[in-house]
Each structure stands twice: as structure tokens, then as C-alpha cells.
Structure 1
Amino acid sequence: MKIIRAKDYKDMSRKAANIISAQVIMKPNCVLGLATGGTPVGTYKQLIDWYNKGDLDFSEVTTVNLDEYRGLPRENPQSYWYFMHDNLFNHVNIDHSRINLPDGTNLDAAAECARYDEVIRSVGGIDLQLLGIGHDGHIGFNEPGSAFELGTHCVDLTQDTIEANKRFFESIDDVPRQAYTMGIKTIMQARKVLLVASGKDKASIVKKAFFGPVTPEVPASILQMHPDFILVGDEEALSEI
């Protein structure tokens, strides 16, 4: 495990983008595993900035996203398909045929999870997986208690996750109750894992996940066992370690 300390959110975003851009430059046809949520947005903005300056070329990159709400169509502004296009894909020269996310409109969970595992296998696996971390230690939608050996699966979202996501919807009743997510097994098979953490509210879970016992009750703790794991955090997020 490598820990990179950043001054603040902007510095964290730049340092994380540096690692991703190095991956793209060293292997132009790499497979990037991407995450949604507030924390990676600054990283995506930095990547777009470097692309606009001519420093990055995404034309051969393939992407696979961590997760998607079950039941939301792509055009819904709260879908992760929409988020990724709004925050990254529409602003760089990525080949849209190389973009992959779980299909939230396929309500046959077994079929969709099997399809997505096959997509990841068919592109040769993930070279670099970007992650955020939830306040309870979840990564993707792998909630506390998730089995470490799972591939892509359908999860029932916890009340805490539903509460955390309600700010994005008109009411809590509109928040999806299920999602498709890469499993921890899939995440651990990525050749490199990069996790970004920002803010004082993440300090206790960062300490618990990366300096406490490895346990399914703190899903991110398994990353202690990954052979090439990098944590990039700002001073507030790393304040307890």
C-alpha cells in the first residue's frame, strides 16, 4: 500500500489524475475502471484540462464503470451513465463504443451481472481501477458484510446509502433501492487500484479501513491485501493516520 498525502481537494485531484494519465500514456489502449460520486469529479476535470492542452489521448482507452442503479434509464440525470458522460466522456476523445457500464434497464439481474463480468473478461481485465470510499467503508456498492469472493452482482442498498444519495433526487422515494456493482473479487483483480479520499468526514473510515483489521464489515479493508494499491488523500482525510 502506498499513501500519497495531498494538501487539499484540488491537490488530491491533481495527484490522482497524474497516476491515471501516466497509465494512459504508458499504455494507450489501457482499460480504466471508473467511479462516480463527488470525490472523483475534480480528478476528471483535471484529466479534461490536460486533454484540452494536448497532453492526453483517450482514443484507444476502454472504460468499465463500477456500478449503475438498477431500473434507471441512461437518460435519467441521476444515472451513472449520464454522470460519466457529463463529467468526462463528452469532453475527451474517447471512442464511445469502448465505454462500458452495467445496464440498469435490464431487470434480469442474473443475466446482466453475467454479461458485465464477460465484458470485463473480454477486454482483458482492468489495468487501473479508480475508487472512492463510503462513510461505512463501502467501495462501489459493496456494502458492509459483502462477500469478498463476489463478481458483479445486484445489491439492495442500505438505508445509509439511500439517505446519502437522496440529495441527488427530488425525494427519498425516487432513490433507487438496488444497484448493479462490480464485486470485490473483480476490484481486487485489477492490476492497480487507486482510491481517492477527501474531507474530515472520511478520516475515521480511512483509518479503520487501512489501519484496522481486514473484514467484510469494512469492505475497503481488503485493499490492504492488494499488491498495487495507492491511496491519495487530502490532509483532512488522512488526519487520523
Structure 2
Amino acid sequence: MEEYANLLTATAAFIGAIAWPATALVVVSLFRRELQSTLGKLPLMLDRVRKATIPGVAVELDRIADAEANNDKDKGGRITPRQIEAAARIEVQARGVGSEELLRELDRLCLEYDSLRRALPPGADRTEAMTRVVVKMRSLAPSVLDSIDLYKGSGWQGSRLAAITMMQMVPRVADLAWLGERFSIELQAFLLYHAALALQSVANISDTEEKRARLQHVAEEALAKVKSSGIPDQGTVQVLETLLSTFHR
């Protein structure tokens, strides 16, 4: 029932982004069963929506995602200098676009992530597609920090992932307690992996013993929870173990 409810929520948001709100309400109420059968078609529909979004920003997001896809064979979706440069360019563009437009673009990426996660079977292809979305989210992240609380509190995994990418790119806004909770609440390895990367970003700005001690505590608890799961994600384990090793040097 929860998955079905999430499906309805995601589809309603998708329709609302491209049609009048009244039409969305009518369609959702009349075609609840039919909506479930459209799930596999959402990525193609989202592609059409993407082409109708902010031209300059959409082109920039595609460009950086393409470049990172060709150079990320061994990096596991980690933050790169290229992504940081892209985010800086987006910030400059945002001055002429406005935050509302960028938030709509980010919402489309959140919906795209949720649809990919449901429509594609687990495996390398799904991970690659979702990583592409993360790269785009990171490029927008520094420009939409004022809305981080909205995304943190969302019921959509895609929106919570967007909040995590903001913390990855701008670790000063990271909420350690919230990140730590992900390892108890979230069920998807991909999201936990990126929460671990966010903790790693926080380590880069932890310049006092108090901050480092708090981060170490959160990372240790996170690692214990990941390892106690049925089949621990080795990428997440590696990130957390590497992070913890820095506290023992």
C-alpha cells in the first residue's frame, strides 16, 4: 500500500508540473488503476518534460552529466572538480533565472530519480541512471540551499536525496543528526551510499575536536547499522571505513 501511495503521489506531481492543477486532480481520481500501468513509461515522459524546462540550465546539466558518465568508471559517483565548476556556473546563471525556476528543475530530477528507482530492475544500468541524476542535482545544489529543509522533510526518496546532495556540495549546511538517521530509516543502498559521501564532505570542514568527535560518533553508528543489515553495501562500507580511518592517524 505504501508503494502504491507513493506512486500516486509521484504521478500527481508529474502531471501537475505539465498541466493545470484541476486537470491533475480529475485524472488522478478517475484513473487510479490505470496510473499504475504507466510506471514503466515515466522515464520517456520525463525526457519530454526535461526538454521543455529551462533551456540554458537543462543543457548545462546534460553536458556535465555526459562528461561525468564518460569519466566515472572507477569513482563511484563521487564529487569531482568538474561538478564543482558546473555548480559555480549554475549559480551564475541562477542570477538571471531565479530560484523558483531552479527548484522546478530540481523537482523534476527528484521525480526522475523516484521513477527510475521503481521502473528499472536493480543493477548497473539503474545505478548509472540514478548517478546521472545525482550529478545534475549536485550542479543545482548550491543555488537552492534555502529550500533544504523542505527536501529533508519530504516523503519522497528523490527529494531526500536532493537534500543529501546539498550537504555533499555545501557541507556547512549538513545536519549530522539527520544524516545519521538515514542509516536507520532508509532502505535503499544508493541513498545510504550518498549519505556516507555527505559525511565524508563534512570531514573536510571539521576543524575542531568537538566537530570531529561528533562526526566520528555518527560515522561509527552508521557503519554498525550498515554492517548489521542483511547484505551490506560494500561501497557504503568502504566510504565509512575510509572516513573513520582518518580519526586514527
Report the TM-score, using the length of structure 2 for normalisation: 0.29
> Rg: which structure is higher?
2
Report the TM-score, using the length of structure 1 for normalisation: 0.29
Larger relative strand fraction: 1
Larger relative helix fraction: 2
Q: Which has the higher contact order (CA 8 A, sep 6+)?
A: 1
